[in-house]
Amino acid sequence: MNARLILPSLMLITGACTQAPEPNIVILLADDLAYSDLALYADTGLTTPNLERMARGGMRFTDFYVAAASCSPSRAALLTGRYPQRVDVPGVLMPQSRKGLPSETITLAEMLQSAGYATACYGKWHLGHLEPHLPHKHGFDDYFGIPYSNDMTPDSTKNPNPYARRHPPLPLVEGITTVETEPDQRYLTMRYTERAVAFIEQNADRPFFLYLPYAAPHMPLFVSEAFDGASGRGLYSDVLLEIDWSVGQILDALERQGIAQSTLVFFTSDNGPWLVKGAGSGSARPLREGKGTTFEGGQRVPFLAYWPGMIPANSTNSAMATAMDFMPTIARLVGIAVDGWPFDGHDITALLRGDPHATTPYEALFFVQGQRVQAVRAGPWKLHAPHRYRSIHGATLSTPSHPGAYAQDSIGLALFDLHADAGERNNVAGAYPEVAARLIARIDSAQAYLAPGR
């Protein structure tokens, strides 16, 4: 990290903060939790009391997106405030990969560490598992977790796919050291939560940043005994209840320490449901498709923001916002200027405060897959450039020997009005040719702007 790039800004502190300065920051990130998995977003019939407690005490966003529809690039964007290809994480990192988030990247954790925050990450990292890329090289004082996805294991009971036999045993890492291999995945959420609560207790009298990226409900699904069968609705719902329990433990710890009023808590997911794995994933319905695609089901996810006294209670916000906004927003709230690090995300403080005049800061949001810009949203309009994608439709779904089977599908130029058609079913490009032409031009210019090395 280049320390001189991160400068405390008195102007921003005095301009931004009516509350006590330096709020604690907590980001809770579920893995592959889908838009319609929670009763807060769809008629699921499943009660998640602690997420509902967050929503009652805070703000629920309806049009919140991650910057990519798979784990690594989505996380890279969340932690840097930039589109994933601009920080050289365009795709999912595998256990064989030697790459990771580049060392010259400035992350949210580095920014806060430089401002005197205690920083910790407990959970799934997935931004490079080799030592030069682990969390401690990106601003986290403490790390405990699996360095990539929980299906990246040679254990055929967890990943029956033949190619997985090449993976090394799944590591559990403490700092930079592998302390276990093939940990009992039933207890990952519980162990991460225990670490997180202890971190809050140890740092209650100083500013801290806690990043808790759960390994669930990414498949394969595991749940501890306490939640086995708890939902009465199957394993996926049991897993959601354990995540919800963890959220409650975090909120309780903040209240016990008397710091709930000085802590900003975000809850979201890194991407949509892993539909091509077959039965057992979450659901984004009525949104189209899921993880791995630039349709709404891949990138629109739940987002709850909670800060008693700062964020209006029981509020809903339909402005378009993204996980790339976390870093610029937190920079503003903490009063830090990050010079030489151009964000693609925006400061959404006004949205979080419930300013009735606040609108989305996005004139256009781009949906990227690898190095390609596949789609753009501007206002109610979403335009897809012609592209191929992995679809569940017509796919040979999971078989014991090849659970990841999927069909390659394609879409031509298509324009959707998301306000009338959130499911992206009714192509209206023919009826609005001028809108389509304008958005095609936006994709073309974004393709050049987002090229590697820029």
Q: How many Å is the maximal CA-CA distance in the chain?
A: 60
Residues in a beta bridge with 305 = 59, 266
In the bound state with Mg ion, the residue whose beta carbon lies nearer, of 71 and 79, is 71
**Of 71, 121, 129, 133, which is the active-site residue?**
71
What are the DSSP E strand ranges found in 21-138? 24-30, 59-61, 64-65, 118-122
> Which residue in 71, 152, 284, 429 binds Mg ion (CB under 5 A)?
71
Contact 130, 100 (CB under 8 A): yes
Strands 24-30 and 414-417: unpaired
- Quick one: which of 22, 31, 37, 424 contacts Mg ion (CB under 5 A)? 31
| Pick from 145, 133, 125, 130: nearest CA to 72 | 125
Stretch that binds Mg ion, among 50-58, 65-73, 105-113, 440-448 (CB under 5 A): 65-73
Q: How far is the CB of 30 from Mg ion (least distance, A)?
A: 8
CB of 24 to Mg ion, least distance (A): 25
Least distance (Å) from Mg ion to the CB of residue 271?
Answer: 5
- Active site (annotated) includes residue 17: no
Minimum gap (Å) between residue 170 Cβ and Mg ion? 16
Active site residue 419: no
Which stretch, 23-31, 52-60, 82-90, 114-122, contacts Mg ion (CB under 5 A)? 23-31
- Residues contacting Mg ion: total by CB under 5 A: 5
- Give the SS3 label for residue 262: helix
Q: Which is nearer to Mg ion, 75 or 382 (CB)?
A: 75
Q: Cα–Cα distance between 211 and 20 in angstroms, integer?
A: 21
Residue 201: CB atoms within 10 Å: 11
Give the pairing of strands 59-61 and 315-317: parallel
Q: Which is nearer to Mg ion, 50 or 149 (CB)?
A: 149
Binding window for Mg ion (CB under 5 A); candidates: 4-12, 56-64, 66-74, 373-381: 66-74
| Closer CB to Mg ion, 70 or 231, in the complex | 70
The only residue of 110, 141, 238, 270 in contact with Mg ion, by rule CB under 5 A: 270
Neighbours of 340 (CB within 10 A): 9
Choose, by CB under 5 A, the member of 113, 237, 271, 391 that binds Mg ion: 271
CA distance 177 to 271: 28
Least distance (Å) from Mg ion to the CB of residue 70?
6
CB of 242 to Mg ion, least distance (A): 17
Q: Using an 8 Å Cβ cutoff, are 100 and 347 in contact?
A: no
> Is 151 near Mg ion (CB under 5 A)?
no
| Segment interacting with Mg ion, rule: CB under 5 A, options 28-36, 155-163, 208-216, 379-387 | 28-36
Q: Compute the least distance from the CB of residue 225 to Mg ion, in Å.
A: 25
Q: For residues 4 and 243, is the Cβ–Cβ distance under 8 A?
A: no
CB of 277 to Mg ion, least distance (A): 12
Please give the Cα distance from 276 to 299 (Å, whole number): 15
Residue 374 Cα to chain centre, angstroms: 20
Segment lying near Mg ion (by CB under 5 A), choices 244-252, 268-276, 344-352, 359-367: 268-276
Among 1, 25, 32, 50, binds Mg ion (CB under 5 A): 32
- The upper half-sphere exposure of residue 309, i.e. CA atoms within 13 Å in the direction of its Cβ, equals 11
* Nearest one of 296, 279, 278 to 287, comparing CA atoms: 296
147-171: burial string, b at 16+ Cβ within 10 Å, e else: bbbbbbbebeebbbeeebeebeebb
Structure tokens at 7: 């400068």
**In angstroms, rounded to a whole number, what is the distance separating the alpha carbons of residues 370 and 66?**
14
Q: Which residue of the set 126, 133, 138, 167 is catalytic?
A: 126
Instruction: Return phi, psi of residue 302, to 5°.
Output: -65, 145
- Which residue intervals of 258-389 are DSSP H helices? 296-299, 326-334, 349-352
Task: Kindly indicate which of the ranges 12-20, 32-40, 159-167, 221-229 contains the residues binding Mg ion, using the contact rule CB under 5 A.
Answer: 32-40
Q: Are 7 and 339 in contact (CB under 8 A)?
A: yes
Q: Among all residues, which ones are annotated catalytic?
A: 71, 126
Contacting positions for Mg ion (CB under 5 A): 31-32, 71, 270-271
